[in-house]
Amino acid sequence: MTALPAPADHDPAPAVAGLDTIVSLAKRRGFVFPSSEIYGGINAVWDYGPLGVELKNNVKRAWWRAMVQERDDIVGLDAGILMHPEVWVTSGHVESFTDPMVECANDKRRFRLDELPGTEELTETEKRDPGIVEKLGLKCPVDGGPLSPPRRFNLMFRTYMGPVEEEAAAIYLRPETAQGSYVNFKNVRETSRKKLPFGIAQIGKSFRNEISPGNFVFRMREFEQMEMQYFVRSEDAARIFDEWLPRRWEWYLRYGANQERMRFREHAPDELAHYAKKAIDIEYRFPFGWKELEGIHNRGDWDLSRHQAASGENLEYFDAATNGSFVPWIVETAGGPDRCAFMFLIDSYREEEVKGERRVSLALHPELAPYKVAVLPLLKKRPEIVEMCQRIVSDLRRDVMTVYDDTASIGKLYRRQDEIGTPWCVTVDVDSLEDGAVTVRDRDSMTQERISADQVKRFVLDRLATARGG
């Protein structure tokens, strides 16, 4: 494992200057749409279109491969979104999963205190100070009205289970996937026969009633998480925590992220969540600043001890070697496919001038690209050419996402594929009918090579394997 990179002391330029470029590309090409748009949209929920769902699925697959498939010590789980309400009391979420909120006396708008201009440097202790609004002279950013002192706002969505809307039936939409892994610790350990250290990985929806959602899919009220809980002996926790930092960092590099725009940031003691002993974020330089991409947390024995005490179930691990039992500690890696796919969209965005024309491309890693190949006819009026295209498409489709397009001139078709990150375009022309060869064009270098049509699938699969590093 390589050493941790030195913390970036510079502020690199973001990959795109403004978010609008990405938001409009995402909408125009079918990556992400505002939810319920025909009704005017709903704040902080976004829908993934045909290309977005491919990109996000590819991110999830890449994470699952690295975290579960390629490892012997981590297994998967898919727990329910709805859980026993006691889980959230025990976990501390009912009590303290809160953000500091202020309200404008004029228009009653509510804001997250630490997202108001002028609060960037506030410590967690200062955020809890009832006099902080007055001390900093904070005003409503919309109409300049007076703001209330901060109060804690719980981010969990609450609803009722069953046909009676009464307090006893109150239940929460989970705000994190992690608790599903803790309450299943015993089930998973017993059925998978894993010995410490071992982990449980989950990908799934979580919900948070964020006070100030925004920045497109960066902060939503409904989103997905990719979280892994690694159960360890207490004496190994610090070392294992340190090992996960470069491992997770390298995962982003493996899929093409530019490390100039990444950094580690350790949480200050008063910033640590109620459960955490230590927390380090991998941050990315988004167009709107340095923001968390993923958090790595040493949670101590807080979770399993609390669940053991509250449920009465023995969650200790019996160590045959020492003949002793103990509650394992947990090292967690917590990220999310929405934020991650968003980062890759931004990071891969390229704009250049080619022969006097503006070319936009997404230099996405081939594993992440929604389509791997586009098959394009040079002349759509020639049925033999279209037929040859269709043969190549149906052969490729068995293995990789492939698209056929004949709705524009070849130059335009290339640009369209560049803009959605398709790594290879295969063009069938008149000569192909004679020599059985086609042109393969590379998205990034724009170089073209002529290969036999029967070799196209081999060509693509080989390049995918090389890109994956296998």
Residues contributing to the site for ligand ATP (CB under 6 A): 176, 208, 210, 219-220, 223, 225, 292, 294-295, 334-336, 338-339
Q: Which residue is nearest to ligand ATP (CB)?
A: 336
Nearer to ligand ATP, 179 or 439 (CB): 179
Indicate the residue among 52 and 335 with the shorter CB distance to ligand ATP. Answer: 335
Peptide bond just before 197 cis, omega within 30 deg: yes
CB of 165 vs ligand ATP, minimal distance in Å: 27
Contact between 181 and 202 under an 8 Å Cβ cutoff? The reply is yes
Q: Give the pair of three-digit tokens for residue 254.
A: 């493996």
User: Residue 223 or residue 414: which is nearer to ligand ATP going by CB?
Assistant: 223
* Joined tokens for residue 208: 């948070």
Residue 100 and residue 396: Cα distance in Å, rounded?
Answer: 52
| Smallest separation (angstroms) from ligand ATP to the CB of 223 | 3
Residue 304 beta carbon to ligand ATP: minimum distance, rounded to whole angstroms:
19
Query: Rounded to the nearest whole angstrom, what is the least distance from the CB of residue 293 to ligand ATP in the complex?
Result: 6
- Rounded least distance, CB 96 to ligand ATP, Å: 13
Closest approach of ligand ATP to the CB of residue 417, in Å = 29
Cα distance between residue 200 and residue 414, in whole Å: 42
Contact by Cβ (8 Å): 175, 207: yes
**Cα torsion angle, 382, 387, 388, 389, sign:** positive
Which has the closest alpha carbon to 244: 192, 206, 281, 290? Answer: 281
First vs last Cα of the chain: how many Å apart? 18
In angstroms, what is the minimal distance from the CB of 137 to ligand ATP?
25
* Nearest C-alpha neighbor of 381 from the set 432, 337, 318, 430: 430
The residue among 14 and 335 lying less far from ligand ATP, judged by its C-beta, is 335
CB of 275: closest distance to ligand ATP in angstroms?
Answer: 11
Smallest separation, CB 210 to ligand ATP (Å)? 5
Q: Which is nearer to ligand ATP, 127 or 441 (CB)?
A: 127
Report the residue number, 103 or 283, with the smaller CB distance to ligand ATP.
Answer: 283
| Residue number, 50 or 289, with CB nearest to ligand ATP | 289
Distances in Å between the Cα of 9 and the Cα atoms of 60, 245, 292, 293, 366 are: 31, 19, 17, 18, 31
Given the complex with ligand ATP, which of 273 and 393 has the nearer CB atom?
Answer: 273
CB 414 within 8 A of CB 427: no
**Minimal distance, residue 123 CB to ligand ATP, in Å:** 15
Write the CB contacts of 374 (distance below 8 Å, at least 6 apart in sequence). Answer: 402, 403, 404, 405, 413, 417, 422, 424, 425, 426
Q: Which residues pair with 350 in a beta bridge?
A: 361
Instruction: State which residue, 26 or 220, has the beta carbon closest to ligand ATP.
Output: 220
Contact 55, 344 (CB under 8 A): yes
Nearer to ligand ATP, 223 or 317 (CB): 223
